[in-house]
Amino acid sequence: MPVSSAPPATTPAAASKRVRSASLGALALGVVSCVLGYLVLAVPGAWFGAAPQLQWTGRELSLTRGAGGFTAGAMALIAPDATRTVVVSLHTTLRAQDYPVVAWNVTAIPDGVEAALLWYNDLQPSRLFSRPLTVEAGRIAPALLRADPHWIGRIDGLALVLRGSFAEPITVHGVAARPMSAAQVLGDRLGEWLAFEPWNGASINTLTGGADAQDLPLPILLAAVVGVAALAFAALARWKPEVLGPAQGSVIAAFFVAAWFILDARWQWNLVRQVEGTYRQYAGKSWQDRHLAAEDGPLFAFIEKVRAKLPAPPVRVFMVADAHYFRDRGAYHLYPYNVYFDPWSNTTPPSSAVHAGDYLVVYQRRGVEYNAAEQSLRWDGSPPVKAELVLLDGPGSLFRIL
């Protein structure tokens, strides 16, 4: 009598092992394909055997236009020249083909200030070439020059040009000529993802996750990896439905959970560093010293001097400043006085609205003029009022209306 031979049934242990192997293989495929795809698009130079990176600190640069000075390892730009221009230059001898990217490390560039890169080459030494630079979040984005027809030969000089007005110093930490090999590109992305992101006014709602400006944010990479891995596992499950099909939904969910865990771990690491920084900044200090150590410390110090000159409440106090942050914080530090300020726009009270005995606090506010000989105060072209200068302290002043 013939005996039919059926294929041996797959044991639960063997099925579980196949699911793990297939899921890890799909995840590895997602990571490798996404990273290699990004490198194909992002690496402008040689992948391997690239020239070493060239880097210069701020103290190695020369300030040819504008006013400034040197701090520890950096150059501080204080003011532009009469044409609202600052030029920082550097003598170089580098081969253009070896260094397709030039990255200026500059911080605190205000809105409205434009940046450009200048350079000479040895093939056309009498010509000066220029390339606009992108300013993002107060910093200059690296300039990719590989496709520029004038980035050829030997580069004999670089310069950074800033055009526009600025009141606060701009810090030039240095400049680097980068070969941008595959290892360097990956190292830059890793540095951006792990960069410390201190708390700011928007942190209660969102955290970017690393450096302010990133070429490839980590959430986007993880989303691409999860998408590719999910598609790969779904294809495997279609090929082996009897083994992988029942686990398809749970495995794809596990991919999303793993990506979420990585992002959360990065957030927790940032939180640990924030706690450490907050402890160093405030621990063991009195409430006054804590205010002085805060971001608005100079404003708080000025308001404390104002409060020492004011009579006891209730007194009407008008707070004006160009920046709404200074108006809001200044008014907050002045409570419980009767403080009047505009939290939405940079306005001043009409001169008819102030009366004798009122006080006007001015902090970093343009358009306020005082004639000490005549004790006359006016702002924004309004009719003058009689006033006494009670306090003058750096960027702030206090007036008593007469």
pTM as predicted: 0.64
Tally the domains of the chain.
3
Same domain, 39 and 188: yes
Same domain, 82 and 174: yes
Cβ-contact 120, 86 below 8 angstroms = no
Judge whether 377 lies within some domain. yes
Domain harbouring 62, CATH code: 2.60.120.260
Same domain, 150 and 193: no
What's the first-to-final CA gap in the chain, in angstroms?
122
Judge whether 166 lies within some domain. yes
pLDDT at 206: 67
Q: Which of 145, 165, 180 is the last residue of a domain?
A: 180
Residue 176: burial class (beta carbons within 10 Å; 0-12, 13-18, 19+): middle
pLDDT at 116: 94
Same domain, 26 and 123: no
Low-confidence residues of the chain: pLDDT under 50:
1, 3-4, 6
Whole-angstrom distance, CA of residue 217 vs CA of residue 52: 26
pLDDT (tens digit, 9 = 90+) per residue, 330-357? Answer: 999 999 999 999 988 888 898 888 999 9
Question: How many of the other CB atoms lie within 10 Å of CB of 241?
Answer: 11
Domain span including residue 120 = 54-180
Same domain, 105 and 31: no
385 beta partners: 377
Spatial neighbors of 315 by CB under 8 A, at least 6 apart, are 337, 338, 357, 358, 359
Judge whether 311 lies within some domain. yes
pLDDT at 118: 93
Judge whether 48 lies within some domain. no
- Alpha carbons within 13 A on the beta-carbon side of 215: 17
Judge whether 49 lies within some domain. no
pLDDT at 185: 80
